[in-house]
Amino acid sequence: MKALKYTIDIVSVMVLVWGLMLLLLIIVNAVVVNLRLPIEGLAGSLLNNALQLAIGGALFSAWLFVWYKATVYCRKRRLKLWGRGPQ
In DSSP notation, 3-18 reads: HHHHHHHHHHHHHHHH
Smallest separation (angstroms) from another protein to the CB of 58:
16
Please count the other Cβ atoms lying within 10 Å of the Cβ belonging to residue 20.
16
Q: Does 60 bind another protein (CB under 8 A)?
A: no
Q: How far is the C-alpha of 23 from the C-alpha of 38, rounded, in Å?
A: 27
Q: Does 73 bind another protein (CB under 8 A)?
A: no
Pick from 26, 39, 46, 47: which binds another protein (CB under 8 A)? 26
Catalogue the E-assigned strands of 1-87. none
**Applying CB under 8 A, which residues contact another protein?**
2-7, 10-11, 14-15, 17-18, 21-22, 25-26, 29, 64, 67-68, 71-72, 74-75, 78-79, 81-82, 85
